[in-house]
């Protein structure tokens, strides 16, 4: 599909928790609109990503800081990029200065797959090192797991206020993700135990 006209530049930002800085990913990049997800990248079923894909039109450019912000595995990455470029939507990654338009050569498509595979492999190595570090710390008897996010008193306050206030604002104030907030609201005691042992 041929890209025609001057479309919008639409940014996509993904962070794993509300504690992470969303502004640094596309800082200084000229954009018409930005969609931001606070979610894991384990799959593409993210609300703001889906909103962006529904919003983008032929001639637009989706701008993302890096491949791993858009997708966490090679299959999802390749599928997302190819689906959008078939619609006449460009996909640009700031890191590496990569732009995919749908008119790439076989070499460019191979590069997309290889770079995505390297990113996936790097994440796997990091997780493996984390697991090894935890195992060694447990052997030495110094591993304590994650600290509890909220005290029982804060959980009680959270539950009382959640009936009247917006969940996103509360999550920011309490320094937790929305997913953790909902865990506390459903089963606060279980959530606390999971946070202290995971």
Nearest C-alpha neighbor of 194 from the set 156, 145, 134, 152: 145
Task: Give the active site residue among 4, 16, 40, 51.
Answer: 16
Residue partners of 197: CB distance under 8 A and separation at least 6 = 145
Q: What is the DSSP letter of 45?
A: -
CA distance 12 to 140: 43
- Contact (Cβ atoms closer than 8 angstroms) between residue 72 and residue 123: yes
Cβ atoms within 10 A of the Cβ of 186, count? 9
Q: Is 177 a catalytic residue?
A: no
Residues β-bridged to residue 90: 61
- Please give the positions annotated as active site: 16
């Amino acid at each position: 599909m041929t890209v025609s006209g001057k479309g919008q530049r639409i940014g996509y930002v993904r962070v794993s928790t509300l504690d992470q800085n969303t502004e640094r990913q596309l800082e200084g990049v000229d954009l018409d609109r930005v969609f931001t997800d606070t979610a894991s990248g384990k799959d593409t079923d993210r609300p703001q990503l889906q909103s962006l894909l529904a919003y983008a039109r032929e001639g637009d450019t989706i701008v993302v800081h890096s491949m791993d912000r858009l997708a966490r595995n090679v299959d999802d990455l390749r599928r997302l990029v190819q689906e959008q470029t078939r619609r006449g939507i460009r996909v640009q990654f700031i890191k590496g200065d990569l732009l995919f338009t749908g008119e790439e050569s076989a070499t460019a498509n191979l590069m997309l797959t290889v770079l995505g595979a390297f990113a996936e492999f790097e994440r796997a190595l990091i997780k493996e090192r984390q697991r090894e570090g935890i195992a060694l710390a447990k052997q030495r008897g110094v591993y304590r797991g994650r600290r509890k996010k909220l005290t029982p008193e804060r959980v009680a306050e959270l539950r009382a206020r959640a009936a009247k206030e917006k969940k996103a604002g509360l999550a920011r104030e309490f320094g937790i993700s929305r997913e953790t907030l909902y865990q506390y609201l459903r089963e606060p005691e279980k959530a606390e135990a999971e946070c202290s042992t995971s």
